[in-house]
Amino acid sequence: MAETHDRIAVVDFGGQYAHLIATKVRRQQVLAEIRQPEDDVAKFDGFKGVILSGSPSLSAHGEDSDWNKAILDLDVPILGFCFGHQEIAKYYGGTVIHGGREWGHAKLHIRREHPLFEGLGSVEPVWMSHFDSVASVGPEFEELGYTITGTDRNAHSYAAIGSDTLRRYGFQFHPEVDDTVGGDQMIGNFVRKICGCNPSWDMDRFLDEEVARIREQVGEGSVFLLASGGVDSTVAAKLFGLALPPERLKLLHVDNGLMRKNESAKVIQMFEGLGLSDALYFVDASDDFLAALDGLVEPEQKRHAIGQTFIDVFEREGERLGISDHLLGQGTIYPDTVETGGTKRAHTIKTHHNRVPIIEQMMAAGRVVEPLADLYKVEVRELGERLGISSEALNRHPFPGPGLGVRLLCADGTCLVPQVGEQLNLLAGEFGVQASVLPIRSVGVKADLRSYEHPVLLQGDVPYSVVLEASRRILADMPGINRAIWDLSGRTGGQYTAVAATTTRARLTILQEADQQVMDGLRRHGLYDTIWQCPTAMVPLMVDGDEGELVVLRPVLSERAMTARPSELPTALIEELRSGILELPSVVGLALDLTSKPPGTIEWE
């Protein structure tokens, strides 16, 4: 069917957003397909244009520069983003330097009217995440735009470049992420005006073709799906139910002990409402998961243990039910794959439970069916609407497969903080706040690379806008820090010491209670549907000699989880949460996460 559509090729250099580019092209009702940098040019036959993605490479002079550059000689328009932008500049006589890094929001100043920017203003907000920069362009190219980042008054040149003669263009920023407000328009302009594509692709076509793909892959076999009750697994369950006869679909809901308060009972009720109760089996395996997590501290070790335990339970229950020969169905979506380093050049940010080695082995053996693997959450919800799933079920906040296991931070009590005291204090002082680097680490992403660095705790009676700008400056300028949080407990100063803690049922109970208060508060204040996701994390810490838990609220705004912005909470809600959460056993503090993604991931682990 693909041959009946105009197509755009997206060359995947392993950046976090490669498939998001394809998604954004598809939102223009034009089919996009992923190609690899090493592919022979014959694999690009029939495409009307090419987009080069970003890359996790720290340098445009590194190993990722070794790719099939004959792609750049194709007789079609080509547009590069970030690393792709730099590669286009170099190939046609420009220079790229290691410097001029930009992270987060910037303002693109457009030099002149151009079809790429039709329908946009002369200044557009864009999203940056890069170390290298284009320093000059070849003779046939011009600068189409430059950027100014944050409070930086210096212009960053060549943020957008182009040659109408060669039909080659480049953006240093990421138009595919939602934080580049006009990014969809820019991509649409390239696809329609530069490449001349006609719109003929939509989610209805995807649904029809995915049902056919499931039937082809499964054949006369059956599918056994781990049904967590989250949006992804619920949509996958309905899709399997549409594609397969009822007797060839089994759903297993596992209570892993890492779920929200009373979550399993709610999930079972929801599947009954979807007409899938006859296929649903339930098992309480919380003891298995707690045993697997006993003594583990590092996030990747915890994720692997959770993923392996899911498979152990799957195989055990499959044998008990007499369906061990079934294919494993998963509601994996694309961010799960790319953050796990699941494409050839992608850097591992965090291993998702559905991408641990045993799953990879099963995939290689053809035992896994993943109908949503190329989609993002917003597309999964759109597909769910077409499948008749209620908006209440589809609009639930995303919840990680490893559950509270990656929101309950663990430590061995020996973490040392980087020596940045004086520089940090001077920078924080410019905004009237105090800053302390905490002896704990969390996962982040910088320029498509995984970081495992420290959060900084900010204190001060200043407006949210001020502390937010302070956090942005600190995250941009200070090494060894990838997250900033704001103390909501009213404390000034304090001594923060690392303590040892692992995953226990007692700690999980405290976190479940805190999470329940946050979810109830968001609904009470009419914010649940506005905020994309609000993880509640818990950090073991000794504060001024009191050993306990620091609870961190992480409300974010996003569309596809590949980027995110922190969300402000109303004062009334903060006061309610402060009085409720600080009364929980062992809780010694409450903080609000101010970090965008990048440099911090949405989840802390």
Are 178 and 37 in the same domain?
Answer: yes
Domain that holds residue 255: 203-403
Active-site residue (options: 102, 176, 339, 513): 176
Q: Is 197 labeled as catalytic in the residue annotation?
A: no
21-35, 108-122, 326-340, 591-605: range with lowest mean pLDDT: 326-340
Domain membership flag for residue 31: yes
71: buried, middle or exposed (CB in 10 Å: 19+, 13-18, 0-12)?
Answer: buried
Q: Amino acid letter at 163? A: S
C-alpha to C-alpha distance for 169 and 171, rounded to whole angstroms: 7
Torsions phi, psi of 359, nearest 5? -65, -40
Are 190 and 326 in the same domain?
Answer: no
- How many structural domains is the chain composed of? 3
Confidence check: pLDDT of 59 > 70: no
> In sequence order, which residues have a C-beta less than 8 Å from that of residue 360 and are 6 or more positions away?
none
The predicted model gives 89-113 an average pLDDT of 88
Please state the pTM of the whole predicted model.
0.69
Look up the CATH number of the domain holding residue 331. Answer: 3.40.50.620
Copy the structure tokens of residue 262. Answer: 């009373």
Q: 391: helix, coil or strand? A: helix
Are 363 and 417 in the same domain?
Answer: no
Are 420 and 395 in the same domain?
Answer: no
pLDDT at 334: 56
- Alpha-helical runs (H) found in 387-504: 391-394, 421-429, 464-477
Domain membership flag for residue 598: no
Query: Which of 325, 319, 312 lies closest to 359, judged by CA?
Result: 312
> Whole-angstrom distance between the N-terminal and C-terminal Cα of the chain?
41
Q: What is the dihedral of CA 20, 22, 26, 28, to 10 degrees?
A: 80
15-19, 169-173, 230-234, 394-398: range with lowest mean pLDDT: 15-19
Active-site residue (options: 82, 195, 197, 534): 82
Are 164 and 243 in the same domain?
Answer: no
Q: Is 174 labeled as catalytic in the residue annotation?
A: yes
Question: Using an 8 Å Cβ cutoff, are 449 and 487 in contact?
Answer: no
Q: Amino acid letter at 31? A: L
Q: Which position has the higher pLDDT, 490 or 484?
A: 484
C-alpha to C-alpha distance for 527 and 362, rounded to whole angstroms: 41
Look up the CATH number of the domain holding residue 178. Answer: 3.40.50.880
Query: Which of 192, 174, 191 lies closest to 183, judged by CA?
Result: 174
Are 109 and 128 in the same domain?
Answer: yes
Sign of dihedral through CA atoms 164, 167, 169, 175? Answer: positive
Domain membership flag for residue 6: yes
Are 332 and 469 in the same domain?
Answer: no
C-alpha to C-alpha distance for 568 and 117, rounded to whole angstroms: 32
- Helix %, strand %, coil % for the chain, to 5? 35, 25, 40
Are 311 and 458 in the same domain?
Answer: no
Torsions phi, psi of 391, nearest 5? -65, -30
Active-site residue (options: 5, 85, 130, 174): 174
> In sequence order, which residues have a C-beta less than 8 Å from that of residue 308 and are 6 or more positions away?
292, 356, 358
Are 250 and 121 in the same domain?
Answer: no
What proportion of the chain, given as a percentage, has pLDDT over 90? 66
Confidence check: pLDDT of 562 > 80: no
> Which of residues 194, 217, 233 is at a domain's end?
194
Paired with 126 in beta bridges are 106
What confidence category does residue 286 fall into, taking pLDDT thresholds of 50, 70 and 90?
very high
Are 345 and 239 in the same domain?
Answer: yes
Domain membership flag for residue 605: no
> Which of residues 175, 194, 213 is at a domain's end?
194
Q: Amino acid letter at 246? A: P
Domain membership flag for residue 465: yes
Domain membership flag for residue 493: yes
Q: Dump pLDDT digits (tens) for 124-164.
A: 999 887 778 899 999 999 999 998 765 555 678 899 999 99
Are 171 and 231 in the same domain?
Answer: no
C-alpha to C-alpha distance for 137 and 265, rounded to whole angstroms: 61
Own/partner pairs, 396-400, CB within 8 angstroms, 24+ separation: 396/230, 396/231, 397/519, 397/528, 397/531, 397/532, 397/533, 397/534, 398/230, 398/231, 398/532, 398/533, 398/561, 399/228, 399/230, 399/260, 400/352, 400/603
209-223, 338-352, 421-435, 579-593: range with lowest mean pLDDT: 338-352
Query: Which of 350, 389, 357, 360 lies closest to 239, judged by CA?
Result: 389
Give the containing element (helix H, strand E) for 115: none
Query: Which of 448, 436, 413, 414 lies closest to 496, judged by CA?
Result: 436
Q: Is 38 labeled as catalytic in the residue annotation?
A: no
Are 150 and 238 in the same domain?
Answer: no
Q: Dump pLDDT digits (tens) for 191-247.
A: 999 999 999 888 888 899 899 999 999 999 999 998 988 899 999 999 999 999 989
